Structures are given as structure tokens and as C-alpha cells.
Chain A
Amino acid sequence: MERVTDSINENAEHSGIQQKQKQPLQSELQANIDLLLGYAGYSDDIVIRRFGGDHGIKEAVILYVEGLTDRDTLMNNIIKPLQFRKPFASSVIDELKQLVSASDLKEAADTDYILQALFSGDTIILMHGEASALVASSKGGEKRPVSEPATQTIIRGPRESFTENLSTNTALIRRKVKDANLWLETMQIGRVTKTKVGIMYIQGLVQPSIITEIKQRLNQIDIDGILEGGYVEEFIQDKTFTPFPTIQNTDRPDSSAAALLEGRVVIIIDGSPFVLLAPALFVQFFQASEDYYHRWDISTLIRGLRFLSFAIALLAPSLYVAVTTYHQELIPSSLLFALASQREGAPFPAFIEAFIMEIMFEVLREAGIRMGRAVGSSVSIVGTLVIGQAAVEAGLVTAAMVIVVSSTAIANFVSPSFNMGISTRLLRFGFMALAASLGLYGITIGLIILALHLCHLTSFGIPYMSSLAPYYSNDQKDALFRFPHWLMKKRPQRLSNWNEEREQTVSVQQHQMRDKD
């Protein structure tokens, strides 16, 4: 469906995507209408409403796209005033500017701009004899209301989630961070989709090099369409070949606000409720917003649990394969007898068995996502209990293997960030292969290579494993543990090496203003 922009010029010849210079507006009203509608191919959802033209009132025409505009604004603020115009002697544009009571009113002559505004939901007002048009803000239409987050559900904490509308999202963030230093910059990415993308950051907290880097990378994106943050993510992330994510995403305003306070940048894409948080470091993928709302003692333990689950999800199948194939002497004797009797009748070697089970589980997982709500729950019960149990009883796999595979899968779900879970899903197959060929030695060298790889990664210039390596003792309060809030006095050094105290106010002007009191 979406094609990258290399073929944009060929498209222009074949399918006629006209991105070239458009002709400017002229003074003739009908000519202007024909011009604009011509570029839009006289699409049926563009409505033309004429006003005046007789009784001495100069003719005016409004154009709008049904469905993109807000009915009430359109009726009350634009159509009503225009309907009851009285003839004036002065210039028509000024008259209309006074009549129309839209929240944002601009005069424009650039055809590109006018067409884009039209297809964003604004109303275009054309007048006879004027070579420019008025663009009245009337964006509206059907939108999903602010609801609960779909993926990152929590027990305690705010339940708002982002929506597909950029301005709603920026407003949700502004409600959390009311400081004037929260700056927003927008840009338009995507030649055909013309998607609005916004960057929010707290001036003074963010390392300036990160902002320049992000802006530069966003400007370099040249593609037909941006439909979701994922597109942007792949374009702007550090170009190292890695299964690990270097940008985080979330659909919760409170996570975004927390990220902003740490000195990160939030990238919002119009059309998707998932925003991007950059830069993203390894330890941050194990933090969930709930950690900060519950008490510190349970949060620390649960965080430890997350790291443990990461290790289990990554290594459990490979450890099982390695130990049962090569290092049987490691298993305590009672367990050894149980396992040996199970493996007695097993048709496949441990590695093949593990591989097949893991693949089966991935298939079940994908199927569960595609199915609708009604059928989905039955798939999970069917999948895990029935198929697993039946496979064991049929003698195809050992019961221990079922346990290992299901624990791996469940441990995978513990990770608060879906993209980190993806990395473990990919890597555990690599570890299984290493375990099958070289046993524990293989797993050890796999882990060394993994450590080297993780330490090599950077996210927008910051070492990926920051807080652990390079080790910042100050950051340990929030990396593996979660110390009480009254102990976390300084911001994490991994991102704010250059600006430390949490209480320190951010701008010089504020200092000056305070002094004046």
C-alpha cells in the first residue's frame, strides 16, 4: 500500500500526483473555484456554498470537506454571518474578517497552503475580485474520545491515554507539565500524507545536542507517507544493526511527562496515539509508571522481578537444552531421574523439541492477536492447556519442555515495554542454537557477545547501558532499585550530566523575576 518516495517523480508522470508548483489564485471567483477543485479532482466530499451575488452583495463562496469540519463552528460562525451580510462600501476581505468568527482566521494566497488547509478541515472562503482567500479554522469531525490505555494498563495511576489527534495529545501533556519551558515544535513529514509531527521537550532540561540531533534526523525523512510512529522510529533511530529498541513508545501522558522531566524528548505523530520517547536507554525499558505510584519497597522488588523475567525469557530454553544435553551432572539427582525418565521416550532431541514448541507458541500468540475478542480468550485456553497437555500425552514432547516454554512465554509478557519483549523473543532462538551446539560454553560466549553488543549501542549519542556502564552511582536509585521519592533528589545523571538538581529552576528569567519580589 505505501511506497517509499523514490518513485515520486515517476508517479507524477503515471498517476499524476501533482506536487509541482501550483498556479496562484486569480481575481475571478469562478476561476479560483475551478482551480482549486481541479487540483482536487472535483472530489465529491468537497462542498461549495455560495453567498450573495445579488442585491449588491459581493459574491462569496465557501469550500469545505464534509466530515473533516466541525458542524457547529461551520453553521454558527461561518455560514450564519455570511448569510446575513449587508452590503458595505469597503473592501470585501476586511468585511468578511469582521463577520466570520472563527477561532483562527488567516489570509492566504498560496494554493498549496489553501489545499492543505482545506484537507485538514479548515473552511476556505473565496471572494469575487480578491486574489487571496480566507482560511477559517473549523477542524472537527469524528474523533475517538480520550479513553483508557489499551496496552499499558496499570492498577494505580492516571487512566488517560493519547488519541489520534495531535492537539489533543499535546494538551494532555501540557496538563501534566504546566511550565512555560515545555516547548513544542511541529513539522510536516510525508509528501503525500503530510502528517503533522510535533516535538515536545522542556527547555533547559534536555541536552541541546539531543534536540538538534532529533530535529536533523526528522528533517531528513523523505517518504510518501507516515502513518504511525513506527515509521518515524525506524528513520531516526541510531543506525546500528540491533534487535534492541533505542526509542521507547507509550500511549500514556504520565509516562511522557515523566520522560520530559528526565530530560527526554517526546515525539508526537498526528494519527497515532503512540508517542515516541527519545533517547531511550536499557534500564528505562524496565521502568513502568506504576513503579512511582506504589510504595518503593514493592516497586523495587517488582523491578527486580522484571530483570529476572528478562533473564528467564532469554535463557530458560537454552539452559534447559544445554544442561540436559551436555551437562547432566549439574542437575540434582532426584530431578535428574524425573527428567531422564521423561526423555526416555521422547522422539526428538531436546533442541528440536524446544524449537518446535517455541515456534508453536509464537504461532498461537500471533493467532491470538488477530482474532477478535470473543474468540481470543478461547485460543489461549485451548493453546496452552489442551495442546500442551495433549502433546505431552501423545508422547510428542516432554512435560518439562512444556513448563519451560510456557514460563518463557509468560516471563516475556512481564516486560513493560513491548519492544524489549520483541528482542528477547528473537534472541532466545540464537541462544538455543548456541546451547545445542556448545552447551554452557556456548551460552557463556553468547552472553559475552550480548554484553559487548549492548555496551556498544548508543541512543542519540548516549551510551545505551548508561547507569550501569558507565556506572553513575547517583543513578542506582532508579535503575535496578527504586528508592523512596524523598531520596531521589537529583535527576538521573545518564541524561543530565550537565544539569543536576531537581529543584533547580530552569531559566534565568525566573530567577530574576523572583529577585524582584
Chain B
Amino acid sequence: MRHIHPRQYMILTVLYTIGTSLLIIPSLLATAVEHDAWLGAVFTAVFNMLYVFVYVLLLQRFPGLSLVQIAEKLLGKWLGSVVAWLYISFFLLLAVLLLQFLGQFIHTSILPSTPVWFIYFTFMIVIVIGLAYGVEAYGRSAELFFPIVLLFLGLIMIALVFEIDVSRMRPIGERGMSPILLSGLKMSTFQEQICLMMLAPLVANKGKQTAARALVVGTAIGLLVLIAITLLTILILGSYNTAHFVYPVYVLVKKISIGDFFQRIEILMIAIWFLTVFVKIVVTMHAGLIGMTQTLNLKSCKPLILPVGLLIAIYAMIVFPNTATFFEFGRESWFSYALSFIFVLPVSFLIVDIVKRFVGSLFKHEVSE
């Protein structure tokens, strides 16, 4: 059984939570609630922590089991398999979307003359290598990347501190809480920590440092970063710009210029972003593969890595003909679809489990009398 240290799990969680969010969420929030985007981010964090809380409860009630196994245990073979396959399809589709998003971004911003499918396939090769080496390897790689990512983010924040104009944030809550809540809810479906739950059985718990704690701490850190960055974009770019740029954080980093020399560091931003998205796609694919291995009772997921990789790379070409449809999907359909998997189903698991135990204890009680 492969094992990773809880600290590596926490680092994976942080990088996963940051994932794609840094690039897309500020813009989407600003479009919805303008200069209260940072409040939207706060609510995103709140909702996210709620979901993670549900996962923690599930982890505690079913130690050592992955999500798919929990489904099968609670709902029986048939219904459990159906739910398992629904989750697997969710994971794989998520991987497709992530790959597509990354590929489009690279294609539009730094490699315009390279065909998109080439970018999909080359990145997929890296991911396949990561999966083939196993969770220990990519967990340790995440540990290596982590200080670099943190350092860079810290650097950005310090470099931009002087450009803050607090007036851009005011007035606060002008439109009332409910649009802010709605956008926070919508954005909270972009972090998908549910995939990390599939990896929880692989973590070697060491006393107090358990997978559950790592999940909570990691999510918290990632969300703090998200709030900070959103705040920065609003305070520096203003709500109009943030809403109208597709990738406002990228624009933000472009503005950094210290002396005449320390410029153009958005390339570093892109490199950092590769790292976080890499972690996200690897974990998501791994979750899907683990799900398949467990439902079908296979010995290991190794033989499936290449076929699933090919499948995802090909589908990355198919799913959205252009960026506009992609963003429309992201705005309208994604959040309810994702919410069912991120929140509704896990909560139903909890409810079913509570009911089962309650009914079970009732029966036991009767028998013993």
C-alpha cells in the first residue's frame, strides 16, 4: 500500500485548492458583485470549509475507506456502483475541463502558434508520468514545489502592496448580501476537494497528524491565498478591470516593475500556475483511476493510466468548441452539477449513515431487552 505523509497530503490540498481558482475566480466574482468580490471570496471560503467539514465527518466515520468504497458500503452493491460510476465520470470530466482550461490559456498567452491539441497531449504525458511513478513521487514533488509557490505568491503580494488604493473597495455591501452569497456559493464549486477525499486512505496517519486535519489545514491555507489575491485585484485593478479581464491576476502580475529590471515576471506566474494545475489534474485523475480500480476490483490502476490519459486528452479537444461556450458552461451549468457531487451526495451519505446507525441502535436495543 503506497503511503504519503500527512504533511504531503496537506501540501497537495493547498496546491489543489489554489489550482485554477487564482486565475478565474476574481474575474467571475467581480462580474457578479463588482467591488465586493473579496467578500464573495470570503463566502466562497466559508462554503468550502463547510464541504470540507462534511468530508472530515465522513472520514472519521469510515476510516481508511475512499469515497467510492463508502458509497458501496452504505448503499449496497447496485446503488453504490451507480453512485461510484457517477463519481468516476465526474472526476474524469473535471480532469478534461482542467486540461482544456490550461491548454487554452497556454495557447492564447504564450504559444499562439502551437496547435492546442499538441499542448494537451504534451501536458498529458507529464501527468501520465506522474501517475505512473505513483502518489509517493508526486506527493514529494508537491513538497518540492510548495516553497517555490509560496515564495512567489509572497513576492507578488509584497511587490504590489504599494499600489493598493483602499477606496476601490468601498462602499462595502452596497447591493446587499444575497448576490454576494450567491456568487460565493457558485465559486465554491471550483475547488472540488472531494477528489482529495479519494486519496485519503493513502495517507499514513501519524498520531495527531491525520489526513482529516491535513485536509482542513490545507484547505484553509489555500482559501486564505484566494481571498488575499482577490482582495489585491480589487484594490489595485478596481472592480471594472477585474471583471473585464479574463485573467485579472495575470494582468496584476504584469504590472509589477521594480527598478527597470524586475519586470515581466508573469512568466513566473505562469510557471507557478503550471505547478498548481499539474497537481490538480494529477490528483483528479488519480481519484478517477482509484475509483475505477475499486469498483471493478482490479489489482492496481497502472494498466489504466495510459488509456484514461488518452481518453481525457482526446475529450479535451471535444468538449468545448471555443472559449465562450466554456465560460458560459462555467457560469451557468457547472455549479449545480458540481454541487451535487461536492455537497449533496456526501451529505446524503452522512444522513444515510446517521439513519442507519440510529435504526441499528434501535434494533439492538430491542433485542437486548
Contacts and interface: CB of A to CB of B under 8 A. Distances in A.
B267 A469 contact: no
Contact of B134 (A327, A332, A445, A456): A456
A42 interface: no
A463 interface: yes
A439 interface: yes
Interface in B110-136: 110-111, 114, 119, 122-123, 125-126, 129-130, 133-134, 136
Interface stretch (A207-215, A364-372, A423-431, A447-455): A447-455
B143 A470 contact: yes
Interface string A293-329: 0000000000000000000000000000000001101
B140 A469 contact: yes
Interface in B253-280: 260-261, 263-264, 267, 270-271, 274-275, 278
Contacts of A329: 264
A470 B4 CA distance: 9
Given A327-B267, A456-B133, A470-B5, A463 B140 contact: yes
A332, A452, A453, A465: most-surrounded residue (chain B CB, <10 A): A452
Given A329-B264, A438-B111, A469-B144, A448 B278 contact: yes
Given A327-B267, A332-B261, A452-B138, A468 B126 contact: no
Interface residues of B, number: 35
Nearest to B111: A441
Contacts of B130: 448, 452
A348 interface: no
Contacts of B110: 327, 439-441
A441 B274 CA distance: 9
B267 A471 contact: no
A465 B264 contact: no
A455 B144 contact: yes
A470 B267 contact: no
B306 to A, nearest CB: 16
B106 interface: yes
Interface SS of B by simple majority? helix
A242 to B, nearest CB: 12
A220 interface: no
B291 to A, nearest CB: 23
Given A332-B261, A452-B138, A470-B140, A441 B119 contact: yes
Contact of B267 (A440, A449, A452, A455): A440
A448 B141 contact: yes
B66 interface: no
Contacts of A471: 7, 143
A444 interface: yes
Contacts, number: 82
Interface residues of A, number: 25
Interface in A102-121: none
B129 A449 contact: yes
B137 interface: yes
A444 B133 contact: no
Given A439-B111, A441-B106, A452 B133 contact: yes
B8 interface: yes
A445 B144 contact: no
Interface in B98-114: 106, 110-111, 114
A470 to B, nearest CB: 6
B245 interface: no
B278 to A, nearest CB: 6
Nearest to A455: B140
A330 interface: yes
Contacts of B133: 452-453, 455-456
Contacts of A470: 5, 7-8, 140, 143
B253 to A, nearest CB: 14
Closest 3 A/B residue pairs (Cβ)? A455-B140, A469-B143, A469-B140
A209 B271 CA distance: 40
Contacts of B7: 470-471
B90 interface: no
A468 B274 contact: no
A402 B307 CA distance: 45
B68 to A, nearest CB: 26
B315 interface: no
Contacts of B261: 332
A470 B129 CA distance: 20
B264 A468 contact: no
B145 interface: yes
A496 to B, nearest CB: 18
A215 B261 CA distance: 56
